[in-house]
C-alpha cells in the first residue's frame, strides 16, 4: 500500500465481492487522485483480485482493474491497517438471508455487517465516514452508529447510506453510467458535510443531476423497494405467461403491447423460467420480515406473493417438461443449456437452474449441464446429486448428444446461434426443446423437427 500523503483522498472498501470489487475499481479508474483500497477476510479472493484471473466474471472488469491496479487501486487482507489509513470506508460485506434462530428464512443475517462495525471501531485512531453499500434493513445505520460511536477513544463516525444498484453482467456499464446515485445522510452539520464529500467523489464522472440525496432511512428503503419493484414486474409477466399458455395468447405480444404504454415501459418484462440471483429473493424476504415486524401483515403478504409466483414458475416449467415427455423423464437424458442466473456472469446464486435441475433429478432424469462460465459453481450447487445421474459438458453440442430434450435456462447469446439441425440429428427422437428464456426461433426449430415448448406461447409439436 502506498504512502498516505501522496493522494487527495483515502477510500477503503471492506468486502471484495461482486459489489466491492467492481465499484472500487471504477472509482479508482475514474479518480486517479484518490487512493482506493479493497480488503477482505478471504485471502483467496484478494489473491485473485491481485492476479489476472479475477474472482468474478464481469465483462470489461479486467480492463478497468488493470487501468488502476498498483497505481491507486490496492487489494489487501490487512483489514486493520487499511481501516486506520482510510478517511472514508465503504462497507460491502454480504448480508445473506438468516438460516437460524429468530427470523430464519426471512431476516437478513447481519453478523458480517456487525463484525465489520466492531473491527472499524477497534482499528480506528481517528474519526471517519462509514458508507453502507451492502443492502440492509431500514434503520440499520442506526445500529451501526450506536456500535461505532460507543467507542471510548473520543472519535466520531458519520454513517451514510449509499446503496448499490448495479446488475451483474452489466456492472461496469451500470457503474460508469448509473441511472442515479443515491446518498442518504442525516440532516445534521456533520451528516451534510459527509454527504457533500461523497457527492464530490461521484461527481468525478456522474452528472450532478443524477446524484440524488435523501435521509438515511429513505435511502435504505429505496434499495429494498427498487429490487422488490423489479422482481414484481418479472412475477407479473410470468403470471401472465401461465395464462397465455392456457389461452393461446403469446406473452411476447402481450409484453410488447403492455411495454409500449409509456407509463409502464418496456424493460424487465421478459417472461422466463423465473428470476434468480443473490438479491431479489433475499431482499424481498427482508422487506416481508420488516413489514411483519411493523405489524403490516397485508403488506408483507403482498410482497411475499412476488416470491410465491416465482416458485410457481419454476415448478410449472418442470411440470411442462414431464407432461410433454409422456409423463415420465425417468432415465431420459435432458440437457440444460445455461446454469448462471442470467447471461454474462458465472454467478449461480439462487439461479432457477438449481431448482430445475434438482426437480429433474427427483424425477430420476439424467441431467447434463452446460454453461460457458458457470460450470464450476454448478458443480458446487449440485454436489449432493445422486451419483451417475448428473453430468457437466463444456460444449452444448456434447451435452445434447443422445438427449431426449434440451432446456434453455440462461439467455446466453451463444445459444441463439447454435447449429440446431446438427443438434437435432444427434438427439433421441422425438426431440424436445423447452425454451425457458424465449430466445430461440421457435418456428425454425419446429421446421427442423423439434417439439417446441416456449414460455407463455402455444407449443409447436409434431405429436
- 338 with 409: CB under 8 angstroms? yes
CA dist., res. 46 & res. 73, Å (int) = 12
Which of 197/226 has CB closer to ligand NAD?
Answer: 226
Q: DSSP secondary structure string, 30-56? A: H-TTEEEEEE-S-HHHHHHHTSSS-SS
What residue 276 binds from ligand NAD, ligand UGA, none (CB within 5 to 8 A, per partner kind)? Answer: ligand UGA
Q: Does 432 bind ligand UGA (CB under 6 A)?
A: no
Cell of 428: 433421441
Q: Does 94 bind ligand UGA (CB under 6 A)?
A: no
Q: Does 112 bind ligand NAD (CB under 6 A)?
A: yes
Residue choice 342, 359, 442, 457 for contact with ligand UGA (CB under 6 A): 342
HSE value, Cβ hemisphere, 13 Å, CA-based, for 408: 27
HSE value, Cβ hemisphere, 13 Å, CA-based, for 457: 25
Helix or strand or coil: residue 24? helix
Residue span binding ligand NAD (CB under 6 A) among the ranges 87-95, 99-107, 365-373, 423-431? 87-95
Residue 392 CB, shortest distance to ligand NAD, in Å, is: 23
- Compose the 114-153 pattern: x for residues touching ligand UGA by CB under 6 A, - for all others: ---------------------x------------------
Residue 8 CB, shortest distance to ligand NAD, in Å, is: 25
CA dist., res. 50 & res. 68, Å (int) = 12
CA dist., res. 149 & res. 96, Å (int) = 25
Q: Does 167 bind ligand UGA (CB under 6 A)?
A: yes
Which residues participate in catalysis according to the annotation?
A: 279
Residue span binding ligand UGA (CB under 6 A) among the ranges 79-87, 111-119, 207-215, 268-276? 268-276
Residue corresponding to grid cell 448499490: 164
Q: Residues in contact with ligand NAD, total (CB under 6 A)? A: 27
Q: Does 93 bind ligand NAD (CB under 6 A)?
A: yes
CA dist., res. 107 & res. 437, Å (int) = 31
What residue 240 binds from ligand UGA, ligand NAD, none (CB within 5 to 8 A, per partner kind)? Answer: none
Query: Angle 280-293/297-324 helices, nearest 10 degrees?
Result: 150
- What residues from 7 to 26 belong to the interface with ligand NAD (CB under 6 A)? 14-20
Q: What angle do CA 22, 28, 31 make, to 5 degrees?
A: 135
Residue 63 CB, shortest distance to ligand NAD, in Å, is: 19
**Where would I find the beta strands (DSSP E) of 310-431?**
333-337, 366-370, 390-392, 405-408
CA dist., res. 32 & res. 153, Å (int) = 33
End-to-end Cα spacing for the chain: 67
Q: Does 219 bind ligand UGA (CB under 6 A)?
A: no
Q: Does 454 bind ligand UGA (CB under 6 A)?
A: no
Residue choice 92, 270, 272, 438 for contact with ligand NAD (CB under 6 A): 92
Measuring CA to CA, how many Å separate 131 from each of 1, 120, 160, 219, 457? 22, 12, 5, 12, 46
Cis before 88? omega within 30:
no
Residue 73 CB, shortest distance to ligand NAD, in Å, is: 17
Q: Does 276 bind ligand UGA (CB under 6 A)?
A: yes
Which of 174/363 has CB closer to ligand UGA?
Answer: 174
Residue choice 72, 76, 116, 232 for contact with ligand NAD (CB under 6 A): 116
- Compose the 166-195 pattern: x for residues touching ligand NAD by CB under 6 A, - for all others: x-x---------------------------
- 412 with 385: CB under 8 angstroms? no
What residue 391 binds from ligand UGA, ligand NAD, none (CB within 5 to 8 A, per partner kind)? Answer: none
Q: Does 351 bind ligand NAD (CB under 6 A)?
A: no
- Label residues 392-423 b or e (16+ Cβ within 10 Å = b): bbeebeebbbebbbbbbbbbbeebeeeebeeb
Residue span binding ligand NAD (CB under 6 A) among the ranges 91-99, 147-155, 205-213, 385-393? 91-99
Residue choice 175, 279, 403, 405 for contact with ligand UGA (CB under 6 A): 279
What residue 227 binds from ligand NAD, ligand UGA, none (CB within 5 to 8 A, per partner kind)? Answer: ligand UGA
Residue 230 CB, shortest distance to ligand UGA, in Å, is: 5
Give the residue from 263, 270, 261 showing the smallest Cα distance to 237. Answer: 270
CA dist., res. 392 & res. 348, Å (int) = 15
Residue choice 82, 230, 251, 433 for contact with ligand UGA (CB under 6 A): 230
Q: Does 172 bind ligand UGA (CB under 6 A)?
A: no
What single-letter DSSP state applies at residue 108? B
Interface contacts to ligand UGA, rule CB under 6 A: 135, 164-168, 227, 230, 234, 268-270, 272, 275-280, 341-342
Interface contacts to ligand NAD, rule CB under 6 A: 14-20, 39-42, 45, 79, 92-95, 112, 115-116, 134-135, 164, 166, 168, 278-279
Amino acid at each position: 500500500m502506498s504512502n498516505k500523503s501522496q493522494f487527495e483522498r483515502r477510500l477503503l472498501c471492506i468486502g471484495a465481492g461482486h459489489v466491492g470489487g467492481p465499484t472500487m475499481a471504477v472509482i479508482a479508474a475514474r479518480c486517479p487522485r484518490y487512493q482506493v483500497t479493497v480488503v477482505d477476510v478471504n485471502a483467496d479472493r484478494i489473491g485473485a483480485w491481485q492476479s489476472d484471473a479475477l474472482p468474478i466474471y464481469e465483462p470489461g472488469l479486467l480492463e478497468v482493474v488493470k487501468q488502476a491496479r498498483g497505481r491507486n487501486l490496492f487489494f489487501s487482507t490487512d483489514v486493520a491497517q487499511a481501516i486506520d489509513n482510510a478517511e472514508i470506508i465503504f462497507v460491502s460485506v454480504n448480508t445473506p438471508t438468516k438460516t437460524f434462530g429468530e427470523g430464519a428464512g426471512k431476516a437478513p443475517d447481519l453478523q458480517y455487517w456487525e463484525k465489520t462495525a466492531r473491527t472499524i471501531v477497534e482499528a480506528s485512531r481517528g474519526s471517519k465516514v462509514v458508507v453502507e453499500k451492502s443492502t440492509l434493513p431500514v434503520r440499520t445505520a442506526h445500529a451501526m452508529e450506536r456500535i461505532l460511536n460507543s467507542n471510548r477513544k473520543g472519535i466520531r463516525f458519520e454513517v451514510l447510506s449509499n446503496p448499490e444498484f448495479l446488475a451483474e453482467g452489466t456492472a461496469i456499464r451500470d457503474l460508469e453510467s448509473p441511472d442515479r446515485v443515491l446518498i442518504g445522510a442525516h440532516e445534521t452539520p456533520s451528516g451534510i458535510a459527509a454527504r457533500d464529500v461523497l457527492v464530490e467523489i461521484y461527481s468525478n464522472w456522474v452528472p450532478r443531476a443524477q446524484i440524488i440525496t435523501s435521509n438515511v432511512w429513505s435511502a435504505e428503503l429505496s434499495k429494498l423497494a427498487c429490487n422488490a419493484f423489479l422482481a414484481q414486474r418479472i412475477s407479473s409477466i410470468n403470471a401472465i405467461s401461465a395464462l397465455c399458455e392456457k389461452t393461446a395468447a403469446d406473452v411476447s405480444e402481450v409484453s410488447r403491447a403492455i411495454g409500449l404504454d409509456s407509463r409502464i415501459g418496456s424493460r424487465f418484462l421478459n417472461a422466463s423460467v423465473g428470476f434468480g440471483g443473490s438479491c431479489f429473493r433475499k431482499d424481498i424476504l427482508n422487506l416481508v420480515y420488516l413489514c411483519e415486524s411493523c405489524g403490516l401483515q397485508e403488506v408483507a403478504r403482498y410482497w411475499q406473493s412476488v416470491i410465491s409466483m416465482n416458485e410457481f414458475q419454476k415448478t410449472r416449467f418442470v411440470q411442462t417438461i414431464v407432461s410433454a415427455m409422456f409423463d415420465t423423464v425417468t432415465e431420459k437424458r435432458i440437457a440444460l443449456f445455461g446454469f448462471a442466473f442470467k447471461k454474462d456472469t458465472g454467478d449461480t446464486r439462487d439461479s432457477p437452474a438449481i431448482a430445475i435441475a434438482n426437480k429433474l433429478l427427483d424425477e430420476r432424469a439424467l441431467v447434463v449441464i452446460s454453461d460457458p462460465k458457470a460450470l464450476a459453481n454448478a458443480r458446487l450447487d449440485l454436489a449432493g446429486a445422486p451419483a451417475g445421474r448428473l453430468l457437466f459438458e463444456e460444449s452444448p453440442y456434447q451435452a445434447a448428444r443422445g438427449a431426449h430434450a434440451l432446456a434453455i435456462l440462461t439467455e446466453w447469446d451463444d445459444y441463439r446461434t447454435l447449429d440446431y439441425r446438427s443438434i437435432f440429428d444427434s438427439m433421441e427422437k422425438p426431440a424436445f426443446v423447452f425454451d425457458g428464456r424465449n430466445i430461440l426461433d421457435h418456428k425454425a426449430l419446429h421446421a427442423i423437427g423439434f417439439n417446441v415448448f416456449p414460455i407463455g406461447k402455444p407449443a409447436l409439436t409434431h405429436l
